[in-house]
Structure 1
């Protein structure tokens, strides 16, 4: 849809209050056929709109620029905890009504929190978009919160932590790995928070967090689908225009010092077989090194023909599963690699083979065939993630929040295609170094082996 942005803004602003005044700040292609337009309200709310009439559906997403890295010692996990509290209701829509109303119109809704962001989303019939706008704006302004609700949700999160971390070998291993790798930066504490911190939250803690971070100047709304843009923007002005900016004071984040010596940690856990996890320092998502590092990670761990899976799973049959992943964090993170071992296999043996394969990579490099295969796999992954309205909205909101560019997925796609063998040699020499690694070795507790 072609629009005259200046005339549209003038019409929308004619009777709008000061905080709701709107202006177009950017218009960029989103792939070969779509356009993303970015509008700002005077109160700081950012709105990305992608009209797409390929299906009569719409995705409405809210991205908050707050995650676990914005917390403070003693109050870890608040961002995740608050994601739970946002479903507790408002005076206009008591607890349970949001889900009931959205389910009644066939909507899908949920939320998520990680290190750099918090994210709420709905995918629903396009005609029901006004309902999503009303409900999201309402809980962003008028959340009802008291001690009883806080204590009730605290028990839910405590149970979640026990299930996903304290009683789960993968969760515990990952938590220990990040704690050992990041001794200064808040990426070293878990998004769900430490148990003692979860147990200590007060209503005042939560309200302070809400007032500071759940503000229009810390939020981005993304709408993708069959929408009438002028009507949509008018609804957003009406729903969000009464909100005031917050004075956001983020805690100072300590930079993680360079790691010059390998770190190791041994764990005992009630599991049937041993486990190994290794973390290597990696660049932030916006760093030019991130894309070639992702390609190299795929060559090592992407699919059954990758080097590590061929060696450890298929050839030597030492592990039931192995994996590698690059954190998509805004600041430098980790390349995680690890394996679930077969019974009777030692973690040290598998650790040795992981480093043998990395050594072979340093000596022999990567073949052109391996590079092309991984480029194709990663390209397919990006394009598949953009097939639906919800997928498009999620990628726009994520990239805008983490790297400041709502169209970064297409720049990343071009960058994947441009990676060279020299780029991979640079990544291997810069990041795949044992002296900057962190290793966690897990052994079964007495009596837990079969």
Structure 2
């Protein structure tokens, strides 16, 4: 009997208290074979695992002999696998006898009683044991080569002349019951016992190797039957003698013939009943009397072992890769989420169709349904999606070289052979099996998954001391975990080109406008947790490490009403990339340590990067919030300090679940795109939840100032940043959009030295670095030449950005900007100004959409606005535009009187006094200026802004965006 060491405990239980090896532990090799009657040396193939030359002989009585000289000195191992296991216990009430005879075979014979047998073995210094499984009982002895004849003699005696009294029988039956009781302390043993009893209706795999408890308890009354069982199965036609080690084949065969040649064949027939086809998924719970962690196991009816059919090898390989220690679900459930402390798979090779098992020991009762569903979801995925070629190739390599590493002694070589030889009593079995392994393809694995991993063949078993969630007993269909149909609730915009770089954008109708009150910044934090915190399977450092050699990227952008995710990779790395990048969106990691890091980063981005270190963006952002105060646009995308502090990881999870749905999604892909890429992208994204997404907001209504309203943000700074503007009703879908676009371009094209404000404030007067105008929000403008797409908004403002000026020139800079705006609105553009600007824009629109990312982004924005593609829309509208249209649109939508202004200054009080007193603004130059400019300065410097004291507020910088 083989004692169960701690390392074997799980394997023993999984094998039904036997030792049928899982695929991971098996091995093979072709080697050479010759017959003792007619030597034939087979050529050793290039894929051979074992380098040995085996000699085989079948005796007239049916006994099979296999001799394997290993080339290792001094040691010999004799393995005697008998083709009888619990599978052969066909009579009702008679289970457990194969295992029982593993015990009884050590009771001795009349010529060599048990004590004498032990003395002989002791004298040889032999190491001996045995084990029983579903399909075989194996007896093995390892010893010095000079004792070969002694071992063969005493083994022949007990196999042919076993003798035991009824008293001995009853004594040993109590020992067997004791072994059952010992094993019954292990909950997984009971779990799998119940699983098999539930799964099989007719076949003898219904009971484990130990047998049913009622049969074991009745075993003392079955002395007469024991004689029948032994006489039936312990016969030469079911037996193989393997002799491996430092042996000579011819003389060894002669010894076996001498001692075993007279053993008689049997006559009894006892066919094993066939199992009918399973007709539905089954669930069984095992109440456990003592404290234990709960177990959940999912099993499926599985194919029999074969060296001609790929199914068993394919299914075992598939489950090992899918649930083993290198799998994504193992990493997720055991390492990352720590839901389980054991996750195992087991597809034992069996003579008849058996069971494939995936099981887990769960840390918390309330997680049992989650773990079961995670297993079922993984099964659904492997049925749908084939493995990568390289993944399978790596597994084959690991299996082969793992075997070679283990076969470093005669005992291990012979023992491995015994586990394969018993099927067909052939040395070639191990070689043939590895040829099957070598031939496996991803398609083979997927085919066997589709055939066997089905609802009708599924049995779910649980075990716990306390009550489990009631939901566990209700088995979901595997199809419920399938990826939704490729034709989801979104279309994919494809911009095909010959560019090998593939880019895609995923745009969700969700942004900071949907931040809950008191949780300002949640939309942006959720996006950051997706692109900067990894997936359930991989932490972000692992993601970056994999993406680095691909030169690939996956990034997020959040705005008021949109969150977009952009991916970029070379077409050759597409499949690898989406398997790494998309899980960040589909199954985010949501780890507490990442959440703390990202929360700190977002808070620092607000406090340090925006407020402390960037007065220009600070003023622009504050202008937006002031104009849209009281609306969904009333806080920055980054949020507020109080809002960021209040956000929890659960808030992020809930926002992700509600916002990122198929109904809220627009998708675009560009480059040398294949149909397969589009299909794989849609298939992956269909894993997102169904639904329309976050509730749409109504278009925010901006505040129109009565006269000029000024907020001065008091901050210790050298210069004064100024932003001013007012809400407009014009967006890209408005008929006046092209007209206002032309007007703002002439007035203050972003980073253009030819624009009017730039010329009047920077170039002629040298007051600052630049001055620009906008009719669409342009966050981050100081870093870019063109706006980034995917910032579509229902409401916009007209804005003038005056880059920081010397504090003494702040009042004058404001007056110049207002004067130039007023002149443009009231006097209109000239024909020449109109034509020059229109010509520029007809071409510049191509510059705005020059890159793959821009083209794709603007195309998706066009879907959001329900307009034609941006370049076509602008060129068509510009070509139809007249000077009168532009001048009329300016008078209708623009004003130099009613404006909101934000100024960031060190001396806030002094600046307020200047604005309210409305005195002359002097400006000093360090070089001579034309008289016309000096005269203009006198006029503008005396221009009355009529800013009332109550219209000017001073806010300490520390209080801005605090809550």
**TM-score, normalization by structure 1:** 0.88
Verify the 8 A CA contact 2:33 2:54 in the aligned structure 1: no
1:358 is aligned to 379
Taking a change above 3 Å as real, the CA distance of residues 118 and 266 of structure 1, as seen in their structure-2 partners, is same
Q: Is residue 236 of structure 1 aligned with residue 247 of structure 2? A: no
2:314 is aligned to 292
Q: Is residue 367 of structure 1 aligned with residue 388 of structure 2? A: yes
**Which of 66, 81, 95 lines up with 1:63 in the alignment?**
81
2:29 is aligned to none
| Alpha-carbon displacement from aligned partner over 1:379-435 (angstroms, at most 9, x marks no partner) | 234334543322332333332322453222222223223321211221222222233
Q: Is residue 246 of structure 1 aligned with residue 291 of structure 2? A: no
d(CA) in 2 for partners of 1:361, 1:263: 21
d(CA) in 1 for partners of 2:368, 2:33: 61
| Alpha-carbon displacement from aligned partner over 1:208-234 (angstroms, at most 9, x marks no partner) | 222222222221111111112222122
- Identify unmatched segments of 5+ residues in structure 2: 1-31, 468-963
Q: Is residue 198 of structure 1 aligned with residue 216 of structure 2? A: yes
Task: Spell out the pairing of 1:172-183 with structure 2 (5 A cutoff).
Answer: 172-183=190-201
| Alpha-carbon displacement from aligned partner over 1:181-237 (angstroms, at most 9, x marks no partner) | 111111111211122222333322122222222222221111111112222122112
d(CA) in 2 for partners of 1:52, 1:404: 19
Verify the 8 A CA contact 1:321 1:340 in the aligned structure 2: yes
Q: Is residue 171 of structure 1 aligned with residue 192 of structure 2? A: no
TM-superposed deviation, 1:83: 0.9
TM-superposed deviation, 1:120: 0.4
Verify the 8 A CA contact 1:25 1:38 in the aligned structure 2: no
Verify the 8 A CA contact 1:378 1:416 in the aligned structure 2: no
SS in 2 for 1:96: helix
Q: Per chain length, whose mean CA-contact separation is higher, i.e. which structure has more relative contact order (CA < 8 Å, sep 6+)?
A: 1
**Which of 246, 267, 281 lines up with 1:262 in the alignment?**
281
TM-superposed deviation, 1:350: 0.8
TM-superposed deviation, 1:443: 2.1
Taking a change above 3 Å as real, the CA distance of residues 4 and 189 of structure 1, as seen in their structure-2 partners, is closer
SS in 2 for 1:327: coil
SS in 1 for 2:114: coil
1:34 is aligned to 52
Taking a change above 3 Å as real, the CA distance of residues 364 and 242 of structure 1, as seen in their structure-2 partners, is closer
Taking a change above 3 Å as real, the CA distance of residues 429 and 217 of structure 1, as seen in their structure-2 partners, is closer
- Identify unmatched segments of 5+ residues in structure 1: 10-22
Taking a change above 3 Å as real, the CA distance of residues 319 and 100 of structure 1, as seen in their structure-2 partners, is farther
d(CA) in 2 for partners of 1:41, 1:439: 46
Verify the 8 A CA contact 1:45 1:217 in the aligned structure 2: yes
Q: Is residue 82 of structure 1 aligned with residue 104 of structure 2? A: no
What's the RMSD between the two structures over aligned residues?
Answer: 2.3
d(CA) in 2 for partners of 1:26, 1:161: 48
Taking a change above 3 Å as real, the CA distance of residues 182 and 27 of structure 1, as seen in their structure-2 partners, is farther
Q: Is residue 214 of structure 1 aligned with residue 234 of structure 2? A: yes
**TM-score, normalization by structure 2:** 0.43
**Which of 297, 319, 323 lines up with 2:344 in the alignment?**
323
1:410 is aligned to 431
TM-superposed deviation, 1:276: 0.4
d(CA) in 1 for partners of 2:135, 2:38: 26
TM-superposed deviation, 1:147: 1.5
**Which of 202, 211, 219 lines up with 1:184 in the alignment?**
202
